[in-house]
């Protein structure tokens, strides 16, 4: 029992290290792409392998992020208690997690169709590249957005095996949605990033200007999500979901400010998880009733 308890404890630490619960950000958008491609519920086997691929890709990317940022995390008071700098997880264990999750991702893509497998390497490579971008560009938030925008594209290709007809405005909307909330979240580390020479929009532009730019990003995201509904000929249910999305986007900017970041976790975690789930559910409902 003691060994089993130790294994379980290590497992939960690893899940917390990669913030596994935040898979909810990207997974619903993969479902959105899949449902749009199928014009309804995809085959259950396809649905299953999409879930496996998304979990594998995100676990691999987050594990890699924790590995390459471990020295920065150790120096930052906000992140010093993360599993790697705190010694709760060994570097070898983190690398095994990354490699295992990456292998799971490629296996899931192989189970889907040839085009999904062909796109797997550039998609995962872009996601891993993001972890290095704060070293050389303040546009790292947009690069993260591009990485996560592969989710709906991947869902579409997983179902159809083709890029034909894909609504690229949906991925572009994801780019700006992610860039907006990641810019706001980066305000927590603006002073630290500036001090040690890391790049982010808040560290380069200041928190106030970064907040304004995040608002522009979110406005663009909303417009692009609306265009997606129009292009895909979704009915009113989708646009009801967009009203909820607009409320959640506005709420994020109301409860935090450049001078008061105390409620940023409610903004970052709750509202963004809600947005991705609402857009997916609204898409599904529109397709089911259209």
Q: Is the pLDDT of residue 113 over 70?
A: yes
Residues 137-162: pLDDT tens digits?
999 999 999 999 999 999 999 999 99
The C-alpha angle 97, 101, 104, rounded to 5 degrees, equals 145
Q: Is the pLDDT of residue 6 over 90?
A: no
Please, what is the end-to-end C-alpha distance for the chain in angstroms?
A: 54
Q: Return d(Cα 34, Cα 141) in angstroms, integer.
A: 25
By mean pLDDT, which of 171-180, 214-223, 225-234, 257-266 is the weakest?
257-266
Residues 85-101: pLDDT tens digits?
999 989 999 999 999 99
| CB half-sphere exposure, 66, CA atoms < 13 A | 33
Residue of 204, 195, 206 lying closest to 72 (CA atoms): 195
Helical ranges in 134-267 per DSSP H: 140-148, 150-160, 168-186, 190-196, 201-205, 207-231, 236-255, 264-265
- Other beta carbons within 10 Å of 50: 25
pLDDT of 209 reads 97
Token pair 């990485």 is found at: 147
pLDDT of 273 reads 87
Average pLDDT value over all residues in the chain: 93
Q: Return d(Cα 2, Cα 135) in angstroms, integer.
A: 42
Q: φ, ψ for residue 194 (rounded to 5)?
A: -65, -40
Residues 6+ apart with CB under 8 A from 6: none
Q: Return d(Cα 101, Cα 127) in angstroms, integer.
A: 13
Residues 241-250: pLDDT tens digits?
999 999 999 9
Q: φ, ψ for residue 257 (rounded to 5)?
A: -150, 165
- Token representation of residue 40: 């309804």
Residues 179-229: pLDDT tens digits?
999 999 999 999 999 999 999 999 999 999 999 999 999 999 999 999 999
Task: Compute the average pLDDT of residues 118-123.
Answer: 96
Q: How many residues belong to the chain?
A: 290
Domains assigned to the chain: 2-289 (1.10.357.140)
Residues 6+ apart with CB under 8 A from 131: 61, 64, 65, 68, 69
- Token representation of residue 224: 């692009």
Give percent of the chain above pLDDT 70.
Answer: 94
Name the band, by pLDDT with cuts 50, 70 and 90, for residue 263: confident
Q: Is the pLDDT of residue 22 over 70?
A: no
Residues 33-61: pLDDT tens digits?
999 999 999 999 999 999 999 999 999 99
Asked if residues 253 and 264 have their Cβ atoms less than 8 Å apart, the reply is no
pLDDT of 2 reads 59
From residue 179, alpha-carbon distances to 175, 209, 233 in Å are 6, 14, 27
Q: Is the pLDDT of residue 282 over 70?
A: yes
């Amino acid at each position: 029992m003691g060994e089993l308890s130790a294994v379980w404890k290590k497992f939960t630490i690893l899940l917390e290290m990669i913030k596994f619960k935040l898979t909810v950000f990207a997974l619903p958008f993969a479902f959105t792409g899949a449902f749009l491609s199928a014009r309804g519920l995809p085959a259950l086997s396809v649905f299953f392998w999409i879930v496996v691929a998304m979990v594998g890709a995100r676990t691999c990317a987050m594990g890699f992020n924790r590995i390459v940022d471990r020295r920065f995390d150790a120096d930052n008071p906000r992140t010093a208690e993360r599993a790697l700098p705190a010694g709760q997880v060994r570097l070898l264990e983190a690398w095994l997690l990354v490699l295992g999750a990456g292998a799971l991702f490629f296996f899931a893509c192989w189970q889907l169709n040839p085009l999904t497998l062909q796109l797997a390497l550039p998609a995962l490579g872009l996601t891993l590249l993001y972890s290095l971008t704060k070293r050389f560009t303040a546009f790292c938030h947009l690069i993260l957005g591009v990485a996560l925008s592969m989710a709906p594209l991947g869902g579409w290709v997983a179902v159809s095996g083709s890029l034909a007809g894909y609504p690229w405005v949906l991925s572009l909307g994801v780019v700006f949605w992610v860039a907006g909330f990641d810019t706001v979240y980066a305000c927590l580390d603006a002073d630290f990033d500036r001090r040690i020479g890391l790049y982010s929009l808040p560290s380069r532009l200041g928190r106030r200007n970064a907040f304004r730019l995040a608002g522009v990003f979110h406005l663009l995201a909303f417009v692009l999500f609306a265009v997606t509904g129009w292009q895909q000929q979704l009915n009113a249910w989708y646009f009801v979901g967009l009203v909820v999305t607009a409320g959640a986007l506005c709420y994020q900017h109301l409860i935090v400010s450049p001078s008061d970041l105390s409620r940023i976790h409610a903004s970052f975690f709750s509202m963004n998880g809600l947005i991705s789930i609402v857009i997916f559910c609204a898409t599904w409902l529109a397709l089911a009733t259209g």
